[in-house]
Structures are given as structure tokens and as C-alpha cells.
Structure 1
Amino acid sequence: MGVMEKMRNSTSSILWILIFSFGILWVLADVDFFGGVTQGPRSLGIVNGDEITLNEYNQRVSFYTEQFNQQSGNPMSPEIRALYENQAWEDLVAARLIRQKMDELGITVTDTELMEMVTGDNPDPFIRQQFADETGQIDRIALQTAIDSPENSEVWILIEQQLRENRRQQKLNNYISSGLRVTPMEIRNEYVRENSFADIEFVRFPYSEIQDEEISMTDSELQQYYRENSDLYQREETYRFRYVSWDKTPTAEDTLNTVREIEDLRSAFESAENDSLFVLRYQSSTPFRGAYVNVDNIREEFSPVVDLEIGEVSDVEMVNGNPHLFKKIDQQGDEIKFAVLSYDVIADPIATIDRLAEEASEFKFYAESESFEEEAERNDKPVREATATKDTPFIPGLGQSQVAVDALEDLSVNSISEPIELNDQFIVAQMLERTPAGTRPFDEVRTQVENALRNDKRQVQALAAVTEQLTANSDLESLASALDTEISEAEGVRYSSTTIPGAGREVEVIGAIFGMEEGGMSGAIQGSNAVFVIRVVNMDMADAQNMTAEQQNTLRNRLEQQKFMAFNQVFIDRLKEDASIQDNRDRILR
């Protein structure tokens, strides 16, 4: 049913709504109601009283967008744009939190320090990059001329501001690093871990040897395990919703238009003198290679280029549904140099995408005034259900979609979303149920609790079985026979490793090995996947006294970097926890 037909059917109700609405508008206008309402939030967000403006947010998003366009050359999908928009917000919040922390710590940059960064013996890398001569030395005359030129005054103000912030950031990094220094003991321990090796023999008794029927569990035990491990069964806020969709697959007309577009470039491609520049200028989805390729190595779909004359361009060839033009540039024996101009067929932004968006908007309008199911039936749209989890972009049935999750967060029960544009479709969703974050009910996770408790009991029984056999079999050979298994060997097990060859990831077992003496035999060791009994055939423990100065510096730098990277994220997260952050993006951007 078209829009105009629906409008005609709803004329009487719409007329009364308009009459009532205009009456309300006159009353509100008399009391200047809209002066306060239209003002809304004045900034995109506030971090501890420091505003984030819409302008700087847009600049940050544009920066990411330009980077993406330069690197990929493809249209940005809604999902990628949503990721960049969120990253821009996180960047601006983090920058303010760090700046506020620097203010709190009293980290400043004096005018003398600033001058030293510009005109000193060792200028800032930015200054060195801009004013270095061909020998790599600073051109002091050019630098001073740039400083003294009146037309550069505003530029220098911006440069000085950036240099101050960079130096403050460096001081903060130094402040943090000073508390994360690596001790000589840590360096010695790391050297020993990296350079110590052991050759071992072992008997392994996998937990899977204990069969399910050998394990019994009572309801009381399950309930107790659930209570003691409730942190394992937490959930984020979840949304159950239904939706209808409009596929964004390119139409036959979209394909025809793309073919015509590339066909129109055929003559220009044939006469182009610089094929690399031509392919780049017209944004071919196939980049220019410029190398000679043996005829036998040319991909089958590119084979039309073989039969061309030098300088000739092929007719339009469809490769994987996308139009291609091939140009033979040169040929030397059996090797050919060629260029490819190709376009990916995408849905037309106006003829297809805008039409689908309009259909989705129309659906939303009438679904709100009538019924979601009735409107779906009237439009012959199947209604699907799905469940999404806050902060988890994957939605079963829809795939990866942070855009959809963000939209669902704003919906109340029974409300209907605006059209949500995903990479391959538009959807309109209706919220059916919102489940708050918290511990999942026992009945909902009973199967998981049973599996977890069963695994715990399986490990306990396996450990008891091996321990019992060890009392009667004191050597590895007799133990292997009693357990009906074989003795395995592993050579060159590194102290810093996390895996044992042939036995998988076993961090705790490796730790136990290097606590043993050469020739010694362990008791039953509870590993991640099995119970082990180890015999150390050879132990080569490194001596930190043999560490060279170069090795010491390498280890120190690596350990300091690891500490700094680990602390940095915790540092930002902690600042966020303690901060007052007001996020107005939903009210301003949408």
C-alpha cells in the first residue's frame, strides 16, 4: 500500500491531530516554552566539567575517515563509520582525562623549555623535520625567519600549544615510567626463564579418562557450586527484539550503471600515457602492479589481456559480478605488463539506498500508528526475532553490528526504532524485552554449572587415581604400565614456555618441572588437561652471571615496555571510573 493511499485512509484522524497540535503550539509559544527546549545540551559531552565540542568531534571523525579513504579506496560501511565515531569519542575523553591529570600533578612546560624545544641545540623532532637542510642540520636562518614573519604568528601559536602538550605528555609518561622501573632481580629472573631448558620424560593421565557415569552430583552440590562461582554466570544487559529488513544488494540497474560508467572510460584508458596514474585517478578497485607477469601465471579471470595488442583495451569483462577493463601495456617474450580498471558493483546511493531508507521510514511511521505485525504483513515482510547483548556487537542472525546494538540501547519495551542501516541491509526493530545486567538464574545456566562441576570432580578423581597408583608404583615405567599408558618424552622444554610438546598448554606443570632436580621424579601434578608425573632427564639452568650488557639492556627495555603498556590501559580505565562523564551524543548526533 502506497503512502498517499494510506494518507487518504487516515485523513480524518490526521486532521484532528493537526488541529489539536496547532492549538498546543499557540499556547506554548505564548509562554516561550521553546526557548528552553530547543536549547538542549550545548556540547557533545562533558568530562569533569570540561566540554567536548561537536566541532572537534567532527574533526576527529573526519581524520579517521580520510585515513580510511586513503588506505582502502572503498566506500565506508555504516559499521566501520560507527567504530570510528566511537573511537573519536574515546580519544577525546581520554585526552581530557590525561590533561586534567597533568594539571592535578602540576605538570607544566615553562617558556624557557618551549624556546629550547624550538631554537635550542636539540629542537623538538617536529621542528627538526620542518627546518632540516640536506645534511640533516637545522637551518637556523630559515627557522628564525619563520619565527619573525608576522604572517606566521597565528601558526606559531598553534605550534607552541601542540609542543607544550607533547612535552607535558612526555613528562607524564616519564612520571609513570619512574614508578614502573624494572628491578635487577626481574631482569635476572627473565634471563633465567628464557635461557633454561629441560629434557623430560612423563606419564600423562588425561581427565577425559574419567567417564561421566563415574561422576555423581546432587542438586545441593550444584546449587553450592553456583553460589560460590556466581561471578562465572554474569550477564550484561540483553535485548530481545523483532525486526524486518530491506536488502541492500545492488539491483540489476545498479550493475548496468556501473558497466556503463566503466565503458565510458574505455577510450580514455586506451589513450592514457600514464596507466598507473589513470588507474589511481579513477579509483580502480584493482590496484596497478606494473610488473611483468608470465603468461602461464596470469589468473584465469585476467586471461583476456593475453590476446590484446600492445596498447589495446579489452571490452568490458565481468569478473565475479564486477566489470573490468584490461589493457596490455607491453610484452617481452612470454611476459606481459598490463593494467586493470575495475569497479565493484554497489547499490546506488540515491536510486537504491535512499529508496530503501524511505521504505523503512514509512514502515516505522505506520507500525507506530497501527501495529508492527500488521504493517509487516501489509508490506509482505517476514518478522524475525533476535537477542543482543550490550557491548557485544555480534548479534545472531544479523552478524557483527555495533550500530544495531547502539540503537537497541536507546529503545524502551514495545518502542520501534528508526531505520538502522547495516552493511548489507536496513532494519526496523521493535523492542520486546530488556533484561538488566546481573547473575543469570540457576535454571538458565544449570547445564553450564553441571559441566563445570563435572569437570572439577573429574580432575579430583583423576588426581586421586594417579596418586593411588604412585603409592604402589614408585618408578615411571611401572606407573605407566599400571595406568595402561606410555612414557612420553619432551626435549628442550623452555622455562618461559607455556606448552609441552605433545601435551598442550601446561603452564603450571612447566613451573613444577623447573622446581625439580635433575634425575628427580615428581609426584602427581594437576595440569590443565591431565595429571602428570614427571622425570627430569636433563636440567640446564641458566646462570644470570653469564648475561651480557646487551642482553640486560634488551630485557630491561622489553620488560619496561610491557609494564608501561599494561599500566597505560589500566590508568585510563581508572581515570574513567573516577570521572564524571556526561555523554550527549544520543541527543545531539541522532
Structure 2
Amino acid sequence: MGIMGFLRERMGKILAFFIGLALLAFIVSEVVRSGGSFFRDDSNELAVVNGEKVPYDKFNEKLEQNSAQFKQQGQSISPQIASYLQETTWNQYLSQMLIGKEIEKLGLTVGDDEMSVMIGDNNPDPQIARQFADQQTGQFDRSKYNQFKAYLQSGKADPAQKEAWHNFVVDLIEAKKATKYMTLVTNGLYVNSLEATDDYEAKNKLVNFKYVSLDYASIPDAKVTLTDGDYSAYYDAHKAQFKTPQELRDFEYVTFNAAPSKEDSAAVKLQAEKLANEFKTTNNDSLFVQINAETKAPLAYQRKGSLDPKLDTTMFSAAKGFVYGPYIENGSYKIAKLVDSKTTFDSVKTRHILIDLASAGGEDKAKAKADSIKKLIQGGKSFAELATTFSADKGSAVKGGEIPSFDANGVMGGGQGALVPEYYNAAFKANKGDILVVKSQFGYHVIQVEDQKGSVKLVKVGVVDKPLTASSKTQTVAYSKAQAFLASLTSDNFEAEAKKEGLKSRTAEDVTAIASGLPGLDNARDVVRWAYKAEKGDITDKVFTVGDQYIVTRLTEIKPKGTLALEAVKKQIEPMVRNEVKAKQLKEKFDSALGGGASIDQVAQKVNSKVVPVENIVFANPIIPGQSAEYKVIGSVFGSAVNKISKPVDGTQGVYVFVVNGFTNPPALGNAVKQKEQIGQALLQRSQGLVLDALKDNAIVKDNRAKFF
């Protein structure tokens, strides 16, 4: 009774203890299963490199910088480009980390004197020279650089610009350290005379020989039976080829097409035809485009050659108000209207004086200075002298402010770039001889229009586009088929069900954790994320949407980092294994023909083949004319004695027997200096990549990028 009483009194506490213990065990098991930690926050841990964490926010900051630079080139970032930028940034980040550790071990630094030279006025680092190059000459503009440094030191400097400059200088220092490290490595490269002689002979020693070959294709695949021993023998001999630097996954999938049907296309076309009638009668073309077009674009005058080809041949001979379309282009129905046309100058010649905001002390002072210079010019002062004295554009200042002629789009002659819109728009609206003050991103321009030449017709065309999209009915039908297929699947009937439904099963092999697309599918990131959470044999628990396709998939293989197991590469190596088995059969055929000291012609006759003569082959280019590269065969040829029939050699295309007719040796290498320099230069070009590869191979990297992207 005492024990029962004890239990009754403490039952609440006992239950709470065991429930709490069970909950803790559950939480810990989930953390362990997901690779996290109960005691630390790893939500920002993008990777761990040799024990050092890589924070996601730091990496993403660098990724955004690279993406911004890409966008500045006028390129859009598609899913494929985003994946490329992310992988490139990761390689940069990883390389910097690994080299940084080596630099730290060696104690490499950049001293104050070196730093003053790198960012000095006389001979700055090439990156600085490029940033402050004259737009006309491409040469470093020292005055522009000095103005920028004075601006940074002033109290008016933008904090963001100061921080950007600081980061730029830090990057220069790190790059200089990396250069020092690579110099230490490359200074240790050495090419001896024996290597130079071997390289010289490999490129210049000639051989003439005859061969007889039996192609692997001469034996039908169906007559070759592969055993486990055949696979194992090939795998063991080539195991080094099956080492992967990162985890890979294979999966099969089927797609259900939800692209627009004929009915969908007809419906969108009918809508476009209705808009075409309304476009003809509207009184506000610009507003009509902005309201009805999927792609909003301002109406602007354009010259011949700048419109879409279908419009370029039509609009320049049409009357104002003419409507073209509907026509289909790039997946959309389009209607185009000629809003206006005009004839203007073909080119305009100007000169200018640029007043920089920073050097002038702010916008108000820059504007006042530009107005003052304009009055001086109107009063008779020399434009060229004022440009030499005051213009921040030193490239044109030395020419009296002159810049090349430009067209209505601001493109200068001779491929010298383009002007900013504010500049060329103002110049085309002005009259010859006018003096203007115009503001742009570079400051205030005092512009004199010197000449206006030629004439060109420009047209203003408004375009309304309606994308050809699938209707909800089309999407529902395709999605329902995908759902029905998914519901019919078990762990081992994927291929059978696909075949039963008349679906083509596709395979995605060696997919990385950060891959963005699959064969024929551009943006399949969700599918890849699923694959890296699934186990081998798993079938997706939902239908994925990728573009206008619905996807159902099954994970077929997980290939861990390191040397892949035989089973993981068995399908991949099957053609090579089959060729090895065929090679044994063909060698036996040749061995039989070689019995009794037969000549090469007799061997050819016995194996029902022919003798093929080959002349002037060099070791460095091991290609047999009419065949592919045959490294093993050509290597055997150069290691053979003259007039001696070889044993059978298995090559890439088949099995060969040959006889060497003779070698032609090049003149003796009298001076190996040039040869050494050529080899050394090739080594130097490869060295940096090889060093980075070696550091990466020896690094212990836990890559979590798949969780973030």
C-alpha cells in the first residue's frame, strides 16, 4: 500500500517527466535527421570550409554585387544565368577562403609603401586606371582620379560611395596578396633540358606505318554477354575516373503538357482582333498601350532597322494611323499602330564643357557655373579656351570640347559609344548655333550645336501584346492527368505505368544540388530541391509545375561525394565494358592470324580486312586519319621497332595490328631555351587553376547551398 500511495501522490510529476523526456527525444531526433543543431542557430550557415563557417548573408552580399554588375551590362538574369552567377560566386568565395588561409600561414602582407603605389597618382593599379579612363582615349585620366579622391576627403562625400571605395581598396589588397602567393608558386616551376627535348621530338619526330584494324562494331552487341566479372575488372582498372567532388542525384520523370491549345490560341487571337479595332479609333495611343499591353513600353521615335522585322518593312511606307496585325511573335499576339512619323537630321555635331557636381561644390554651384560660362561664350569668349580651362571631360577638353557626330539615338560615329539621352535629345531639338545648358548624370553640360547634317525618317510605333497563355480548362485537364498518374504509382511500377499511359519517361543524370534546370525544362529548381530531400526509390508526393509542364518524378540514384560504387556507374560504363569484351574476341582472331610469322598483308587477308598506310604522324597529335584519336595505338607505334609486326592493341574504335616502316628524326635541338620558354609559359597559364584545384581537393567542405537557393 505504501508504494501505491507513493505513486498516487507523485503520478503527475512522473508523467510530466516521461512526457518531457519523450518530447526531448523527438526534438533531438528531428534535429539530428535534418542536420541541424539543438544548441546553436545554423540558419545562416551556407557552408563550412575546413571548420570555418560561411555565413549566408556574407555570401549573398557578394552574389548580389556580381548580379548587379551583370545587369549593368544590359543582360537579364534568367534562372540559368542566376545558377551560373551563384556557382561562379561560390567558386570565387571558396578560392579566396582557401588562398587566404595559405597567405595567413606564410605571413604575406601588403606594406604601406606598396599601398601608396597601388592607389597613388602616378602609376595606380590597373583596376583603378580602368575606372578613371578617359572616355575618348581610353587612357588613365589623372585629374579625374584626383578630383574623386578630393571629393572623398571632403565633408560632402556620400557615405555609400566612401564605403564602396573602402571595399574596393580592401579587395585590391587581397588581390595583391593572392598575386604574391601565386608568384611564390610559379617561381618554383622549372623545365629541364630533357623535358624540352622530349617535347620537341613529340612535336617533330615523324613515323610512317601500316595497320590492320577490326572495329568493335563488327561484332553485334546482342552477341556479347557481359558478366559481373567484366564490370568489376573495368571498374577496378578505372576507379579514379569515378571520383565525384560533390554529391549527385539521378531521377526519372514524366511531363504533362499544359501549353496553350488551338482553342486557347483562337481565343487570344479573337481578343487581339477586338483590340486592333479599338486601337484604330482611340485618340490617346500612349494611354491605350499602357492600359492594354502586357509589355509596357513608352512610345519613342525610331529609325529604320530598329523595329521588329515584320514592322520595319511596313511602317516606314504606311500612313499615320495604320494598324498592323494581329500577328504572332515570341509567344504573343501583337497589334502595332503607326502613331507618327517625322524627318529629322541624320547626325548632329556638337562640342561641350562638362561641369562636375563634386568639383564645383554641389548642384547649385555647378548650375551657376555652367550658366556663367554660357554667358561668356555668348559674349564672345573662346569656347575652346573655356573647355580647356573648366571642362571635367579632359578627353574632349584638349580638343576644345569637340566630340564625334552622333545620330538620333546618341550613337557616336566610329563605334565610340553612345551619349546620355539628356544630351542627344536636347541637341536634336535645338537649332544650329544654339548654346544650351543641360543636366545629366555626369553634371551640367554647356553644349554648342555646331552642325546638323542629312535627313532621316523616324517613326513612332505603338505595340500592344497579348501573351498566348493556356486557359484554366487546358491546365486543369493536364493537371488532372498528372494527378491520376501519380495516384497510380507504387515503389516499383513507375516505368510500367508510364508505358501503359503512353508517356515518355525521361532521365536526369548527375544533377547537382544547386542545378536550376533539367533536360528540356529551364526552371525546375523545386524538383531538384525535392530530389535532395528524398531517398532512393522515392516518388514525389505532389505534382510539380515547371513552366507550362506538370512533372511527376522518382529518385533513382544517390551518388555520394567521393568514389562512386560500381552499381552507381554500371549503366554509364556498359558501352566501354562491352568494347573490352569485344576486344578480347578480336584479339583472339588476330592472334590466330599472326601465327607462323605472317606478314601484315597476310594478317589482313586472314581477318578479312585491309592494310591501311599512314604517313607523317607525330606523337603530340595521336590521330589516325579517318579514325578518332587513338592514344594507346600511337603510343605503341612510337615504342615499336621498325619492320616488326605488333601484337594486337585495343584502341578506341577497335583492335589494331601494325608494322612501323620507319621514323624521321628532326634536326637535333641545338638551343633548348625557346622550347623551355614555351613549356614554361603553358605551365604558368595552368598553374593558378591547378593550385586552386589542389586546395579544393584537400579541403573539407560541407556545402549547404541547396537549403538556401
With structure 2 as the length reference, what TM-score do the two structures score?
0.55
C-alpha distance in 1, partners of 2:124/2:638? 51
C-alpha distance in 2, partners of 1:46/1:220? 39
Q: What is aligned with 2:172?
A: 163
Label 1:146 to 1:537 Cα distance change in 2 as closer, same or farther (>3 A): same
Q: What is aligned with 2:643?
A: 520
Question: Which residues of structure 2 form unaligned runs of 5+?
Answer: 1-36, 287-294, 344-456, 490-500
The question of 1:499 aligning with 2:501 is answered: no
1:16-55 → structure 2 map (5 Å cutoff):
40-41=41-42, 43-48=44-49, 50-55=52-57
Match of residue 143, structure 1, among 146, 156, 161: 146
1:158-197 → structure 2 map (5 Å cutoff):
158-197=167-206
Label 1:583 to 1:161 Cα distance change in 2 as closer, same or farther (>3 A): same
C-alpha distance in 2, partners of 1:240/1:58? 29
Q: State the AA in 2 paired with 1:108.
A: T
C-alpha distance in 1, partners of 2:172/2:619? 45
Label 1:303 to 1:536 Cα distance change in 2 as closer, same or farther (>3 A): farther
1:338-353 → structure 2 map (5 Å cutoff):
none
Does the 8 A contact of 2:95 with 2:692 survive in 1? no
Q: What is aligned with 1:14?
A: none
Does the 8 A contact of 1:495 with 1:510 survive in 2? yes
Does the 8 A contact of 2:253 with 2:551 survive in 1? no
Does the 8 A contact of 2:252 with 2:507 survive in 1? yes
Label 1:109 to 1:227 Cα distance change in 2 as closer, same or farther (>3 A): closer
**Post-superposition CA distance 1:290-349 (Å, at most 9, x none):** 779xxxxx98x789549935999761333475456599999xxxxx9999998997577x
C-alpha distance in 2, partners of 1:266/1:498? 73
Give the stretch that moved more between structures: 112-121 or 539-548. 539-548
C-alpha distance in 2, partners of 1:373/1:76? 33
Cα deviation for residue 514 of structure 1 reads 2.6
Label 1:425 to 1:90 Cα distance change in 2 as closer, same or farther (>3 A): farther
Q: What is aligned with 1:510?
A: 634
Does the 8 A contact of 2:644 with 2:659 survive in 1? yes
The question of 1:119 aligning with 2:129 is answered: no
1:292-311 → structure 2 map (5 Å cutoff):
305=314, 308-309=317-318
Label 1:420 to 1:96 Cα distance change in 2 as closer, same or farther (>3 A): farther
Q: State the AA in 1 paired with 2:98.
A: L
Label 1:216 to 1:421 Cα distance change in 2 as closer, same or farther (>3 A): closer
3-state secondary structure, aligned to 1:499: coil
Q: What is aligned with 2:328?
A: 318
Q: State the AA in 2 paired with 1:425.
A: Q
1:465-544 → structure 2 map (5 Å cutoff):
465-516=589-640, 520-528=643-651, 529-537=653-661, 539-543=663-667
Does the 8 A contact of 1:323 with 1:342 survive in 2? no
**Post-superposition CA distance 1:373-403 (Å, at most 9, x none):** 399xxxxxx9988776563568689688455
Does the 8 A contact of 1:418 with 1:428 survive in 2? yes
With structure 1 as the length reference, what TM-score do the two structures score?
0.64
Give the stretch that moved more between structures: 482-491 or 40-49. 40-49
C-alpha distance in 2, partners of 1:149/1:447? 63
Q: What is aligned with 2:415?
A: none
Does the 8 A contact of 1:248 with 1:347 survive in 2? no
Label 1:255 to 1:43 Cα distance change in 2 as closer, same or farther (>3 A): farther
3-state secondary structure, aligned to 1:569: helix
3-state secondary structure, aligned to 1:523: coil
Match of residue 391, structure 1, among 504, 508, 511: 511
Q: State the AA in 1 paired with 2:172.
A: L
Q: What is aligned with 1:583?
A: 704
Q: What is aligned with 2:78?
A: 76
Q: State the AA in 1 paired with 2:149.
A: A
* Larger Cα-atom Rg: 2
C-alpha distance in 2, partners of 1:67/1:493? 48
Give the stretch that moved more between structures: 536-545 or 308-317. 308-317
Label 1:471 to 1:92 Cα distance change in 2 as closer, same or farther (>3 A): same
C-alpha distance in 2, partners of 1:62/1:473? 72
Q: What is aligned with 1:373?
A: 487
Q: What is aligned with 1:198?
A: 207
Q: What is aligned with 1:15?
A: none
**Post-superposition CA distance 1:118-139 (Å, at most 9, x none):** 2276421023234556594662
Cα deviation for residue 503 of structure 1 reads 3.3
Q: State the AA in 2 paired with 1:391.
A: V
C-alpha distance in 1, partners of 2:577/2:257? 46
**Post-superposition CA distance 1:233-256 (Å, at most 9, x none):** 999775768888683659657778
Cα deviation for residue 459 of structure 1 reads 2.0
The question of 1:101 aligning with 2:102 is answered: yes
* Pairwise CA RMSD: 6.0
Q: What is aligned with 2:685?
A: 561
Label 1:107 to 1:281 Cα distance change in 2 as closer, same or farther (>3 A): farther
Cα deviation for residue 162 of structure 1 reads 1.6
C-alpha distance in 2, partners of 1:326/1:197? 70
Q: State the AA in 2 paired with 1:565.
A: G
Cα deviation for residue 161 of structure 1 reads 0.7
C-alpha distance in 1, partners of 2:100/2:281? 55
Q: State the AA in 2 paired with 1:176.
A: V
**Post-superposition CA distance 1:401-437 (Å, at most 9, x none):** 45522332124687966875534435576x7888675
1:245-264 → structure 2 map (5 Å cutoff):
247=258, 252=265
C-alpha distance in 2, partners of 1:114/1:522? 68
Cα deviation for residue 510 of structure 1 reads 1.3
Cα deviation for residue 62 of structure 1 reads 3.6
Cα deviation for residue 565 of structure 1 reads 3.1
C-alpha distance in 2, partners of 1:223/1:495? 31
C-alpha distance in 1, partners of 2:270/2:181? 58
Does the 8 A contact of 1:238 with 1:434 survive in 2? yes
Give the stretch that moved more between structures: 132-141 or 487-496. 132-141
Label 1:305 to 1:347 Cα distance change in 2 as closer, same or farther (>3 A): closer
The question of 1:404 aligning with 2:415 is answered: no
Q: What is aligned with 2:350?
A: none
C-alpha distance in 1, partners of 2:612/2:461? 57
Q: What is aligned with 1:425?
A: 549
C-alpha distance in 2, partners of 1:93/1:247? 41
Q: State the AA in 2 paired with 1:150.
A: S
Label 1:72 to 1:265 Cα distance change in 2 as closer, same or farther (>3 A): farther
Q: State the AA in 2 paired with 1:318.
A: I
Q: State the AA in 2 paired with 1:195.
A: N
Label 1:74 to 1:123 Cα distance change in 2 as closer, same or farther (>3 A): closer
3-state secondary structure, aligned to 2:669: helix
3-state secondary structure, aligned to 2:119: helix
Label 1:99 to 1:47 Cα distance change in 2 as closer, same or farther (>3 A): farther
Q: What is aligned with 1:30?
A: none
How many positions carry a matched residue from both structures?
A: 510
Does the 8 A contact of 1:323 with 1:344 survive in 2? yes
C-alpha distance in 1, partners of 2:463/2:208? 58
